[in-house]
Structure 1
């Protein structure tokens, strides 16, 4: 990374932010990871699943497209706010890790105070979107801020920071459901639980990129915890996720079509593990990003089953 141009080392080369955004905006876009959209997609897909699950339970109401659109922009804002907060908290650790020392705060592109102002701006805009939904969903969304706040500290105290990321990143499954129903039920709880396992699995794969640096600076992760057993461990997590997703769908009234189409998602997860090689450059990152397609497939499975 060259700090003169501010490009972040793990961002895709010639991404849209680096190519087209005004220079004054780029450091803030990098804080919010606009140059790496995979994060907000992975935060968004559980929201779409929650809406789709509600459509199965209430077929007369259908899939609420406007709610899905609002939640997409909410996911972009909340993912950006969460990443900004994470970078403020982790700025000293980021200086010591090769992949992260090029981020805007440790590289000097923005100050911690400027990042805090940007964090508040994103949170306020996300709040404006949240208040478009019913009261139960508003309070559920507010409660999720506790999970967002504690996650950056977990890598210092537990080998399972990915579990706390799962609690936060899967929360959209509950928000999507409650936005349509005004309350909770066992089906969205099962969806939430399965999605937590999915997040732990894919973030363990992501964390394989930093195992050596994390060991040097004392950062804990499931990638370090599982060690050479990372493939079977993630396989168990993915299998549990797939099972719970199907239990959730059946509980909401799905038919055979969701189960059949969800096998495509299972195939994608199996491919990730079958071809995983942490010693190859970008191998773990590519398999991590493949989960975007898992999100697409399950969303289409919910939609197809509702239409059927």
Structure 2
């Protein structure tokens, strides 16, 4: 139960490593495959390399702003939680002033990058940023904060699609019609499951602090709820494979994606290893994202 993806060992002095742990940089791998999946499926071909680079940069800076804001909003709570007491903002390894500067500068860079992507990405960017930046406050009020966090992952698919569709279409309605919505929904349901792997170990502490999540609301049934969300996510991904005329590589990738999630569920439910379960979801997103992208590139029918 002591696992914490944002914690530091007491002897860590490398500033670069401190910032990477603070941002939980490896978790960018949750979102980037989904963003690229949205881009590839939306136009059924390889997007321009320049757009793929801009998608990565926009995602990186928005995630930097969001994660920093999350740490800043929760610094007093994290200080009281034995599991999170070694996070950089709690220990002083990163100063409050540094965190505020990171938020402001990262948001400015995010908006600037969306401007260079296309006009629709720029117009929609404040809405996307609002969803990301408001997340840490939702758990003060409702268990649906888990779905709020999951919607951020779904927005990665949405945003990747908008980034490429905005090159070809001048109408927002035309863009929305071509968003791969089944994958957006599948990603949201997948993310609810892995987010609960982060909340279930803290359920008792969160209850004492008056914080809300489905881990607090459902108690012992929270893990089953996480598994059901991920089961339905695989179903929506399969529907997406068929509806968007993807091929055998996408189908196989979806199956492996589901198997990895099932193994993560086994680790959480039978081994009580929420840390490994959480990180296996990174592997599952890479498998699905790369598989779908390769499928689009090769165009091998099912």
Q: TM-score, normalised by structure 2?
A: 0.85
The structural deviation recorded for 1:147 is 0.7
Structure 1 portions without partners, runs of 5+: 1-7
Alpha carbons of structure 1 residues 218 and 147: separation in structure 2 relative to 1, 3 Å: same
State the Cα deviation string for residues 9-49 of structure 1 (Å, max 9, x = none). Answer: 8547699xx57x4x4x5655444x2xx32321112222111
- 8 Å contact kept, 1:47–1:172: yes
The structural deviation recorded for 1:127 is 2.4
State the partner residue of 1:115.
99
The structural deviation recorded for 1:144 is 0.7
State the partner residue of 1:102.
86
The structural deviation recorded for 1:67 is 2.5
Q: Which is helix-richer, 1 or 2? A: 2
State the partner residue of 1:53.
41
- 8 Å contact kept, 1:98–1:213: no
Kindly report which structure 2 residues correspond to 1:176-187, keeping only aligned pairs within 5 A, or say none. 176-182=160-166, 183-185=175-177, 187=179
The 10-residue stretch of structure 1 (120-129 or 264-273) with the greater mean CA deviation from structure 2: 120-129
Aligned residues: 287
The structural deviation recorded for 1:267 is 0.5
State the partner residue of 1:5.
none
Kindly report which structure 2 residues correspond to 1:23-172, keeping only aligned pairs within 5 A, or say none. 23=15, 28-31=19-22, 33=23, 36-56=24-44, 59=45, 62-172=46-156
State the partner residue of 2:232.
240
The structural deviation recorded for 1:173 is 0.5
- 8 Å contact kept, 1:84–1:119: yes
State the Cα deviation string for residues 197-224 of structure 1 (Å, max 9, x = none). Answer: 1111110012123223222222211222
State the partner residue of 2:169.
none
SS where residue 276 of structure 1 aligns?
Answer: helix
Q: TM-score, normalised by structure 1?
A: 0.83
SS where residue 80 of structure 2 aligns?
Answer: coil
Alpha carbons of structure 1 residues 13 and 76: separation in structure 2 relative to 1, 3 Å: farther
Alpha carbons of structure 1 residues 261 and 292: separation in structure 2 relative to 1, 3 Å: same
- 8 Å contact kept, 2:8–2:87: no
- 8 Å contact kept, 2:267–2:274: no
The structural deviation recorded for 1:100 is 2.2
Tell whether 2:282 aligns with 1:292: yes
- 8 Å contact kept, 2:55–2:163: no
Structure 2 portions without partners, runs of 5+: 167-174
SS where residue 185 of structure 2 aligns?
Answer: helix
Alpha carbons of structure 1 residues 284 and 9: separation in structure 2 relative to 1, 3 Å: closer
